[in-house]
């Protein structure tokens, strides 16, 4: 179907031309894109996507870490269609509500930890993290400690692209463009053992990395530190998996200094680690939990913040208006799709299957890739994994400049029918949770082939 009269409905070249002339892309080198032309994806089913030339690709990224139940689920389309006819829009401002938002709020309270009983709806993970900043600061104001307003985050964190969320993020290029971070945000180094661990064992490094939080709190003064925010496994920073003793120590420090714990579940939530939430996997008790992506498996935009009883009780007791919200907070159609999505995850035992069967199988097969001469480390949890491509496996020497080898490998992947993402020189997968063992075999075979092509191009064997 085309609304544009001057061109045929399925012409890759004219799509590319219009895209180049009229479409500014997120996180894209616009000049390079104009030269190379965009890849046009036209349809998808299960774990595969197709481009406008009819080429099929295995989607190792589940879109952008989000299509947890896979593509083409009719249940989700039907839920949206029914809701569009019944009540396509109403808001939840000023004491109104509607069944889809109410039922989703109840279901979210059921699938999350017992102390998480309230949700504030947003349309994205970025908005969820901006909402977190406002909730945290409002909370400490209400608690009579307005000076407790600094939020500590980590380098290589990704919490979104709006001003607040980009400030929480720890990616240099984001901060350089736009005078960020905003005041009251501090950063510590991440638990990236492979890159920064030096001679320390992962356990020694994990403890040291957690103690950086304690040092930062002491440096700023605990009476000024409102919260710590972290992704259970850092996604867009390069799938940084913390050593096992990292999170328990972070939880201890937050408790000891009365610093709220915000666990950003936008990627890890809804099954990616083989548990409903990353907090369940790492046994954390977050005060606030931003969610998005897997909440609707990306079928429609929706996010939210799970708010712990400690905060919710004070907000409710206070009886004053929280001056924050979005026109589409709790959009009925997005809520209906999220409800249907969570029902699929639950009724088809998709997460249990990742935990018991496909997750361990992927871990085993992914681990085999560490034998490859380019791969310094094969790491991950559940269905989010990385391969660190390095110049020297023995000395853990990285390629210089970073990113070129990763891009080369990523391009080989696209050419050979696999979507794998490159973050610097780490090759990333975050596949749909419905991948079978046969799909995993196909994935590993494609990855191996593309690693070989990359090594050959570099003259390494
Ligand atoms: C993607 C992401 C976000 C931002 O979500 P958007 O929906 O893109 O705004 C926030 N946090 C994490 C951990 C993410 O991966």
The 10s digit of each residue's pLDDT in 73-93 is 999 999 999 999 999 999 999
Residues 384 and 336 in one domain: no
Name the residue with the closest Cα to ligand 1, atom 11.
159
Kindly state whether residue 32 falls inside one of the protein's structural domains: no
pLDDT in tens, 35-47: 999 999 999 999 9
Rounded to the nearest angstrom, the distance between the alpha carbon of 143 and the centre of ligand 1 is: 29
Distance (Å) from CA 60 to ligand 1 centroid: 18
Residue 248 has pLDDT above 80, yes or no: yes
Do 298 and 412 have their domain in common? no
Annotate 330-374 with DSSP letters as a single string.
T-HHHHHHHHHHHHHHHHTTHHHHIIIIIHHHHHHHHHHGGGSTT
Calpha distance 67→433 (Å, rounded): 8
More confident residue, 418 or 34: 418
Query: Does the structure show a pLDDT above 80 at 4?
Result: no
- What is the rounded distance in angstroms from the CA atom of residue 195 to the CA atom of residue 398? 8
Distance from Cα 330 to the centre of ligand 1, integer Å: 18
Across 18-34, average pLDDT:
92
* CATH number of the domain to which 216 belongs: 3.40.640.10
Q: Which domain holds residue 167?
A: 75-347
**Domain boundary residue, one of 294, 321, 347:** 347
Any domain includes 180: yes
| 449 found inside a domain | yes
Q: 130 and 242 share a domain?
A: yes
Mean pLDDT computed over 240-266: 98
pTM: 0.97
pLDDT at position 10: 63
Q: Are residues 150 and 294 in the same domain?
A: yes
Counting from 1 in the atom list of ligand 1, the atom nearest the Cα of 64 is 1
In a domain, 131, yes or no: yes
pLDDT digits 0-9 by tens, 198-224? 999 999 999 999 999 999 999 999 999
Cis peptide leading into residue 217 (ω within 30°): no
Domain boundary among 317, 347, 377: 347
Tell me, yes or no, whether 249 and 106 share the same domain. Answer: yes
Q: How far is the CA of 461 from the centre of ligand 1 (A)?
A: 37
Provide residues with CB under 6 Å of ligand 1. Answer: 65, 124-126, 129, 158-160, 231, 235-236, 264, 266-267, 292, 303
Instruction: Give domain status of residue 1, yes or no.
Output: no
Atom of ligand 1 nearest to the CA of 127: 9
pLDDT band for position 1 (50/70/90)?
Answer: very low
Q: How far is CA 321 from CA 94, 324, 350, in A?
A: 10, 9, 39
- Can you tell me the distance from the alpha carbon of 127 to that of 189, in angstroms, rounded to the nearest whole number? 24
**Do 383 and 314 have their domain in common?**
no
DSSP codes of every residue in 399-454: PSSTTHHHHHHHHHHHHTTEE-EEETTEEEE---TT--HHHHHHHHHHHHHHHHHH
- Domain identity same for 309 and 359: no
The alpha carbon of 297 and the centre of ligand 1 are apart by a number of angstroms equal to 13
**Whether residues 91 and 63 fall in one domain:** no
Q: How confident is the model at residue 139 (pLDDT cuts 50, 70, 90)?
A: very high
Q: What is the pLDDT of residues 318-350, one digit of tens each?
A: 878 899 999 999 999 999 999 999 999 999 999
pLDDT of residue 6: 57
Residue 236 CA, closest ligand 1 atom number: 15
Q: What is the structure's pLDDT at 319?
A: 78
Tokens of 216: 């930062």
Picking from 283, 309, 262, the residue whose alpha carbon sits closest to that of residue 131 is 262
- My answer on whether 272 and 387 are in the same domain is no
Residues 232 and 309 in one domain: yes
**pLDDT tens-digit readout, 254-306:** 999 999 999 999 999 999 999 999 999 999 999 999 999 999 999 999 999 99
Which CA distances in Å does 97 have to 76, 81, 259, 364, 386? 22, 20, 33, 47, 42
- Shared domain for 79 and 159, answered yes or no, is yes
**225, 261 in Cβ contact below 8 A?**
no
In a domain, 256, yes or no: yes
Model confidence at 239: pLDDT above 50: yes
What pLDDT was estimated at residue 294? Answer: 98
Range 138-157 average pLDDT: 98
Q: Give me ligand 1 centre to Cα 421, in Å.
A: 16
Q: What is the CATH number of the domain that holds 406?
A: 3.90.1150.10
Whether 68 shows a pLDDT value over 50: the answer reads yes
Asked whether residue 103 falls in the same domain as residue 63, the answer is no
Position 7 scores a pLDDT of: 53
- The pLDDT tens digits of the residues spanning 426-461 come to 999 999 999 999 999 999 999 999 999 999 999 987
Ligand 1 atom nearest to CA at 293: 7
Amino acid 3: pLDDT: 60
Give the position of tokens 């050593």.
243
Structural domain total, the chain: 2
Q: Is residue 28 part of a domain?
A: no
Tell me if 383 is assigned to some domain: yes
Q: Which of 310, 332, 347 is the last residue of a domain?
A: 347
């Amino acid at each position: 179907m085309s609304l544009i009269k001057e061109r045929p409905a399925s012409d890759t070249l004219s799509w590319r031309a219009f895209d180049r002339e009229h479409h500014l892309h997120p996180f894209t080198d616009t000049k390079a894109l104009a030269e190379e032309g965009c890849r046009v994806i036209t349809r998808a089913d299960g774990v595969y996507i197709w481009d406008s030339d009819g080429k099929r690709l295995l989607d190792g990224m589940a879109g952008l870490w989000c299509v947890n139940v896979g593509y083409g689920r009719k249940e989700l389309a039907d839920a949206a269609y029914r809701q569009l006819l019944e009540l396509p829009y109403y808001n939840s401002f000023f004491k109104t509500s509607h069944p889809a938002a109410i039922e989703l709020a109840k279901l979210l309270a059921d699938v999350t930890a017992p102390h998480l009983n309230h949700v504030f709806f947003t349309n994205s993970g970025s908005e969820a993290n901006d909402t977190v900043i406002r909730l945290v600061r409002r909370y400490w104001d209400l608690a009579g400690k307005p000076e407790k307003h600094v939020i500590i985050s980590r380098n290589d964190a990704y919490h979104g692209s709006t001003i607040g969320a980009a400030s929480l993020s720890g990616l240099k290029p984001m901060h350089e463009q736009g005078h960020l971070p905003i005041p009251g945000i501090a950063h510590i180094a991440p638990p990236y053992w492979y890159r920064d661990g030096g001679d320390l064992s992962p356990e020694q490094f994990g403890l040291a990395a957690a103690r950086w939080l304690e040092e930062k709190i002491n440096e700023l003064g605990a009476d000024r530190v409102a919260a710590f925010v972290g992704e259970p496994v850092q996604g867009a920073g390069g799938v940084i998996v913390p050593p096992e003793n990292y999170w328990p120590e972070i939880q201890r420090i937050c408790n000891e200094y009365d610093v709220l714990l915000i666990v950003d579940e936008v990627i890890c939530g809804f099954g990616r680690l083989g548990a409903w939430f990353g907090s369940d996997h790492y046994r954390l008790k977050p005060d606030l939990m931003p969610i998005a992506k897997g909440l609707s498996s990306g079928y429609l935009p929706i996010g939210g913040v799970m708010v712990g009883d400690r905060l919710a009780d004070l907000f409710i007791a206070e009886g004053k208006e929280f001056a924050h919200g979005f026109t589409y907070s709790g959009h009925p159609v997005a809520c209906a799709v999220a409800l249907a999505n969570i029902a699929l995850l639950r009724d088809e035992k998709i997460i249990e299957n990742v935990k018991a069967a496909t997750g361990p199988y992927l871990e085993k097969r992914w681990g085999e890739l560490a034998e490859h001469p380019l791969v310094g480390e094969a790491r991950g949890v559940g269905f989010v994994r990385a391969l660190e491509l390095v110049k020297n496996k023995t000395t853990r020497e990285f390629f210089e400049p970073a990113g070129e080898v990763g891009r080369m490998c990523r391009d080989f992947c696209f050419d050979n029918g696999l979507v794998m993402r490159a973050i610097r020189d780490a090759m990333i997968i975050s596949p749909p949770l419905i991948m079978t063992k046969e799909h995993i075999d196909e994935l590993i075979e494609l990855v191996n082939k593309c690693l070989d092509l990359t090594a050959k191009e570099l003259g390494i064997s």
